[in-house]
Amino acid sequence: MERPAWAPRGIDISVPSVSRIYDYYLGGSHNFEVDREAARRAMEFMPGLPRIMQANRAFMRRAVRFAAEEGVTQFLDIGSGIPTFGSVHEVARAVRPEARVVYVDHDPVAVAHTEAVLSGEEGVDVVAADLRKPREILGSSVVRDLMDLNRPVALLLVAILHFVEDEDDPYAAVAELRDALAPGSLLVVTHASYEGIPLPPERAEGAVDVYKDIRNPLIMRSRDDIARFFEGYDMVEPGLVPMPKWRPDSAAEDEDPYSYSGFAGVGRTA
């Protein structure tokens, strides 16, 4: 297998990675054939997967812009993946040039690329850490140096919670992060669900099985289960809704039916 020059040393390029598959869906170039193959297998069951990822990114940008317009200048993006055009720091700084951003991912490829993209950027950095270990994130020197946790933070958990299995207690991790953040902080979430997918559930399950096969199980949760992540937050209007319906820039009816798969929401601590 040809090893691209940009592939960080020590990366096993024979194993698919969720963040590189996501990069492929978004039309990025930082993915290997093994990632593309897994993505194509999943798309045999759910051809609209790229549209879902694009809706995710579009929601993220609207939510970051909203947070910045509300006066938030600190952004903690956990499960940030491989940077693409319109990343969190670019969107936030278009509104608040002083915004500080910490990206967090446990995929070494995502971390290496983020470091390369951010080279020379002041006030933006990346941490190699896992959402399931909030203390490691909050205690990292990067977070301590760049963030003042006594001031509001926008915590982004975009397309990440559905990769945390129930036995790893994602609710506890989200609560621990919430409790560490100042009043007025925001939680930004998107999450996969069978609700809204324009396919019979058994067909969508075929795509879910592909993720199981690559040992990155995709946990489909109901709207009610996703709403539990917002315990301790007041929901920002319009609440927990399909991604295109959260403060859309254009008419929602223009959206691809697949964009309505799963849910998005923003909450604020009192």
* CATH class (in words) of the domain with range 49-198+220-268: alpha beta
The tens digit of pLDDT for each residue in 15-25 reads 899 999 999 99
Residue 243 tokens read as 């991604």
Give the length of the chain: 270
Concatenated DSSP letters for 57-98? Answer: HHHHHHHHHHHHHTT--EEEEET--S--SS-HHHHHHHH-TT
- Look at residue 252 in the predicted model and tell me its pLDDT: 62
Q: Is the pLDDT of residue 135 over 80?
A: yes
Range of weakest confidence among 69-78, 114-123, 185-194 = 114-123
pLDDT at position 251 = 73
pLDDT at 183: 98
Res 244: pLDDT: 95
Query: Percent of the chain scored above 90 by pLDDT?
Result: 81
Q: What is the model's pLDDT at position 117?
A: 84
Are 223 and 240 in contact, with CB atoms under 8 Å apart? yes
Q: Where are the alpha helices (DSSP H) in 7-48?
A: 18-25, 33-45
Residue 266: predicted pLDDT: 98
| Band of residue 1 on the pLDDT scale cut at 50, 70, 90 | low
Mean pLDDT score across all residues of the chain: 94
